[in-house]
Homo-oligomer: A and B are copies of this chain.
Amino acid sequence: MTKLKLTYFDGPGRAEAIRLCFVVGGVEFEDERVNKEQWGAMKTAALENEKRNICQMPFLPWLEVDGVVISQSLAILRYAAATAGLDGKAPLEKAKIDMVLSTFQELLEITVKYVLAEESDKEQVLEKAKEVWKKMLTKLESMMKESNGGGKWLIGNDMSAADIVIFSFLKQTDARLSSMVSKSIYDDLDIPCLKGLAERVGQVEKIKEYYDKQAEQSTKS
């Protein structure tokens, strides 16, 4: 069996959708969580080591596949989606799912920019971020409306990685923003179908179990 180890910081960020694909697909993986210090040491070693694990780019997440490190979060996400059978069937369906994954990447990019922005720039970055979120999420809401009347999944008849990234983005961005600006991103956006979709994904048994287990662990620690 292929041995998988996903390395990322201890938070959702660019890794959560990857973790969720593995969880939903029942694909076993080691969920390694590192702190900034540990990552610093790994990065230095990777930069110095040109000969081994040559696919390493110096940013997380990394996915070790039988000892070979793959980087680039979108490539890892697509590997996870394919391994979990969440990447669609026909070529056009696969392309639509890919399109949503790329869009998710852009949505997340601007969110990360906001989180990392200097205090003095935050307001300006937030305004820009809101514009991007609105434009893209409104398009995705239209896609959702057109797909089986908006009450099922984003692409095709089965849940796919596209649904998982929407769930992951709304969940983490909303949680982060609510704590930062005391306001839900939902408030400014008319996205009832996407919201319903996120709720549906959150109710998937394996995903519920995953978050229940996380909550249990954080209570213990």
A58 to B139, CA, bound (A): 9
B82 touches A102 (CB 8 A): no
| Most chain B C-beta atoms within 10 Å of own C-beta, residue among A55, A66, A74, A146 | A55
Question: Within 8 Å of chain B (Cβ to Cβ): is A65?
Answer: yes
From the candidates B68, B79, B99, name the one contacting A94 in the complex (CB within 8 A): B79
Which residues of A line the B interface, CB within 8 A? 50-51, 54-58, 63, 65-66, 68, 70-72, 74-76, 78-79, 82-83, 91-92, 94-96, 98-99, 101-103, 135-136, 139, 142-143, 146
Could you show 30 A-B contacts with beta carbons less than 8 Å apart?
Answer: A50-B142, A51-B142, A51-B146, A54-B143, A54-B146, A55-B143, A57-B139, A58-B135, A63-B95, A65-B91, A65-B92, A65-B95, A66-B92, A68-B92, A70-B95, A70-B99, A71-B99, A72-B99, A72-B102, A74-B74, A75-B95, A75-B96, A75-B101, A76-B95, A78-B95, A78-B98, A79-B91, A79-B95, A82-B94, A83-B91
